[in-house]
Chain A
C-alpha cells in the first residue's frame, strides 16, 4: 500500500514538474518569437531611415536650378526628385519613394509595399511599412498643401518631414479579435524633419 502511495505521489510530482517545464518553454518560445520580430522591425526601421536620409539629404545635388527642378512631384505618400547620388558631377539620378499596395501574404492588414526606384532600378520592399507620410514646408516653415505638381510650388519646398511606421508582419499577441488590433503587432515609429541643403 505504501509503495502504491509512493508511485502515485511521484507521478503527480513528475506531472507537475513536466507542466512547469512545458510552461517555461512556451514562455521562452513566445519571448524569443517577440524578440525576433522586434529585432526585425528595428533593423528594418534603422535601415530604411539611413537609406531615406542618405537620399533625401542629396535632393537637388548638382541640379542646375535655373534650368531644372530638383523635386518633380510631391505628395503625402510619394516623392520624386533628382540628385547626383554618387557625386559623379555629370549624371543626375531620378529617384522615387512611395508606399504602394497592401501586402496580402502577411497577417498584418496594414503593411504595404514600400517602393524605392532609382532610374530604371526598382526595389519593392515588404518590410512592414504601414505608414509612410511626407509633409512639405517652405522657407518660412509653412506647410505646402499636397499634391504639389507645379514647378513654382515645387521650388518652394525647403524642408520635408518624414513619418515612418513599421510593424511586424505577424502578430505577437494572440487575441481573439478577428480584426487584429494594433496591439497585436510590434511597431517602430520614426519621424524626422529633413532640410536638404541643396534646395
Chain B
C-alpha cells in the first residue's frame, strides 16, 4: 500500500510539473513575441529620431559630413553622411536596441526657404533716401563676382545686375549724382517691385545664430564659407552697432537701427539694413567690403552712406551660399529605406 502511495504521489508530481512547465513556456513565448516587437519598434524609433537629430545639428551649423552618435531611449544611434551636395544630402542611420539593429538609408532634397530676389548690388526700398557716396575709392559694382569678390572673367552679361535699384524716379535722380562710382547695367535702375525685406526679416531675426546689441565690435569672425550664419545687429531705437575693427562674416547680416562701419569689415552674403523708422547705414572710414548684395528697407529719409574705400560687389555665388544657411532650409524626402536584423 505504501509503495503504491509513493508511486501515485510521484506520478502526480510529475504530471503537475509538466503542466506547470508547459504553462510557463507558453507564457514566456508570448512575452518574447511581444517584447521582440517592442525592441523592433524602439530601435526603429531611435533610428528615425536620430535622423531628426542630425538635421537639427545641421541647423546648428555642424558640418553635414560629421558623424552623429549617442544614446537615446535606452539604445544607441549613429548617423553617417553618405552624400552631400548643394541641393541634396544622404544619411545612413543605425540604431541598436537590445539585440535588435535597425537601419535607415535616406536621401533628401534640401531647399532654401523663400529668399529675397536680389536684382541689384544695392537695393534701396526707401522713399526719399539720403544717398551719399563720398571718397574717391567707394564703389558699387553690379557685375557678377566670385565668392571671394574677384570679378568673374570673362564676364557673363546675363549674370550682371544693376548697381543700385531704387523705388522712384526722384531717388533715381538722387542716386544718379554718384553714378560715376557705380558700375552696372544700368548703373541706377528703377524697380518699384523689388522685394520688401520686411517679408523676410522677422524669420531671420527669429533664426539668428548671433545677436548683438549696441556697442563696438571688432576682431571677430561670424560663420565660415561652408557654414554661413545669420547675424542680427540690433541697435535699438537710439543705439548704434559700430564695427570699428577687423570683422569678417558669412551669411545674412540683418541690422535694425543704426549700423556704422569704421573699420575693415568684410561680409560675404546678404546685408539687410531694415527698420520701420529712419535708418542710418554708414561705412565711414576703413576698407569695408560687402561681397554679395545689400537690400535696404526703412522709413522715408533714411540714410545710406559710403565713405572711405568701401566696396559693394555683387556676387551670385556668395548669395547662393547665404541661402543655404542650415536654419533657412527645409527638407523633402527623395528616398527612404528601412531594414532591420
Whether A and B are associated in the same complex: the answer reads yes
0/1 per residue, A23-45, Cβ < 8 Å to B? 00100110110011011001100
Q: Report whether B30 and A197 are in contact in the complex, using a CB–CB cutoff of 8 Å.
A: no
| Chain B nearest Cβ from A31, distance in angstroms | 7
How distant is the Cα of A84 from the Cα of B338 in the complex, in angstroms?
A: 11
For A28, what are the chain B residues with a Cβ–Cβ distance below 8 Å? 16, 19, 23
| Chain A nearest Cβ from B125, distance in angstroms | 36
Check: A21 CB closer than 8 A to any chain B CB.
yes
Check: A58 CB closer than 8 A to any chain B CB.
yes
Check: B333 CB closer than 8 A to any chain A CB.
yes
For A46, what are the chain B residues with a Cβ–Cβ distance below 8 Å? 33-34, 36-37
Which residue on A lies nearest to B35, using beta carbons?
A46
0/1 per residue, B317-341, Cβ < 8 Å to A? 0000000000000000101111110
Check: B106 CB closer than 8 A to any chain A CB.
yes
Q: Report whether B105 and A39 are in contact in the complex, using a CB–CB cutoff of 8 Å.
A: no
Contact of A39 among B19, B33, B40, B336 (CB under 8 A): B33
Check: B27 CB closer than 8 A to any chain A CB.
yes
Q: Report whether A39 and B338 are in contact in the complex, using a CB–CB cutoff of 8 Å.
A: no
How distant is the Cα of A61 from the Cα of B104 in the complex, in angstroms?
A: 12
Check: B26 CB closer than 8 A to any chain A CB.
yes
State which residues 24-52 of B face A: CB under 8 Å.
26-27, 29-30, 33-34, 36-37, 40
How distant is the Cα of A29 from the Cα of B22 in the complex, in angstroms?
A: 10
Check: B12 CB closer than 8 A to any chain A CB.
yes
How distant is the Cα of A198 from the Cα of B12 in the complex, in angstroms?
A: 61
| Chain B nearest Cβ from A195, distance in angstroms | 10
How distant is the Cα of A42 from the Cα of B36 in the complex, in angstroms?
A: 12
For B335, what are the chain A residues with a Cβ–Cβ distance below 8 Å? 61-62, 198
A197 in contact with B106 given A62-B335, A87-B337 (CB within 8 Å): yes
Q: Report whether B33 and A58 are in contact in the complex, using a CB–CB cutoff of 8 Å.
A: no
A43 in contact with B33 given A32-B26, A50-B40 (CB within 8 Å): yes
A35 in contact with B26 given A46-B34, A197-B106 (CB within 8 Å): yes
State which residues 49-70 of A face B: CB under 8 Å.
49-50, 54, 57-58, 61-62
Size of B's binding interface in residues, CB under 8 A: 24
| Chain B nearest Cβ from A126, distance in angstroms | 19
How distant is the Cα of A119 from the Cα of B34 in the complex, in angstroms?
A: 30
How distant is the Cα of A31 from the Cα of B335 in the complex, in angstroms?
A: 49
How distant is the Cα of A43 from the Cα of B29 in the complex, in angstroms?
A: 9
State which residues 270-320 of B face A: CB under 8 Å.
none
- Chain B's interface: helix, strand, loop or mixed, by majority? helix
How distant is the Cα of A28 from the Cα of B22 in the complex, in angstroms?
A: 10
Q: Report whether B34 and A42 are in contact in the complex, using a CB–CB cutoff of 8 Å.
A: yes
For A57, what are the chain B residues with a Cβ–Cβ distance below 8 Å? 336, 338
State which residues 85-133 of B face A: CB under 8 Å.
105-106
| Chain A nearest Cβ from B197, distance in angstroms | 32
Identify the interface centre among A21, A35, A87: most chain B CB within 10 Å of its CB: A35
How distant is the Cα of A35 from the Cα of B106 in the complex, in angstroms?
A: 42
Q: Report whether B33 and A42 are in contact in the complex, using a CB–CB cutoff of 8 Å.
A: yes
Q: Report whether B23 and A35 are in contact in the complex, using a CB–CB cutoff of 8 Å.
A: yes
A87 in contact with B26 given A21-B12, A58-B337, A58-B338 (CB within 8 Å): no
Q: Report whether A39 and B37 are in contact in the complex, using a CB–CB cutoff of 8 Å.
A: no
For B12, what are the chain A residues with a Cβ–Cβ distance below 8 Å? 21
A198 in contact with B333 given A31-B23, A35-B27, A43-B33 (CB within 8 Å): yes
Q: Report whether A32 and B33 are in contact in the complex, using a CB–CB cutoff of 8 Å.
A: no
How distant is the Cα of A49 from the Cα of B335 in the complex, in angstroms?
A: 23
How distant is the Cα of A177 from the Cα of B91 in the complex, in angstroms?
A: 58
How distant is the Cα of A29 from the Cα of B337 in the complex, in angstroms?
A: 46
How distant is the Cα of A198 from the Cα of B333 in the complex, in angstroms?
A: 7
A39 in contact with B30 given A46-B36, A49-B37, A87-B339 (CB within 8 Å): yes
Q: Report whether B337 and A50 are in contact in the complex, using a CB–CB cutoff of 8 Å.
A: no
Q: Report whether B34 and A61 are in contact in the complex, using a CB–CB cutoff of 8 Å.
A: no
How distant is the Cα of A198 from the Cα of B27 in the complex, in angstroms?
A: 39
How distant is the Cα of A28 from the Cα of B202 in the complex, in angstroms?
A: 71
Q: Write the residues of chain A forming the contact surface with B, with a CB cutoff of 8 angstroms.
A: 21, 25, 28-29, 31-32, 35-36, 38-39, 42-43, 46, 49-50, 54, 57-58, 61-62, 84, 87, 197-198
Q: Can you show 24 pairs from A to B with CB atoms below 8 A apart?
A: A28-B16, A28-B19, A28-B23, A31-B23, A32-B22, A35-B23, A35-B27, A38-B26, A38-B30, A39-B29, A39-B30, A39-B33, A43-B30, A43-B33, A46-B36, A54-B339, A58-B337, A61-B335, A61-B336, A87-B339, A197-B333, A197-B336, A198-B335, A198-B336
Across the A-B interface, give the 5 residue pairs with the lowest CB-CB distance, nearest first: A197-B336, A35-B26, A43-B33, A46-B37, A39-B30
Q: Write the residues of chain B forming the contact surface with A, with a CB cutoff of 8 angstroms.
A: 12, 15-16, 19, 22-23, 26-27, 29-30, 33-34, 36-37, 40, 105-106, 333, 335-340
Using A46-B34, A87-B105 as known contacts, list a sample of 9 further A-B pairs with CB atoms less than 8 Å apart, ordered by residue number in A: A29-B19, A36-B26, A38-B30, A42-B30, A43-B29, A54-B340, A61-B335, A87-B337, A197-B336
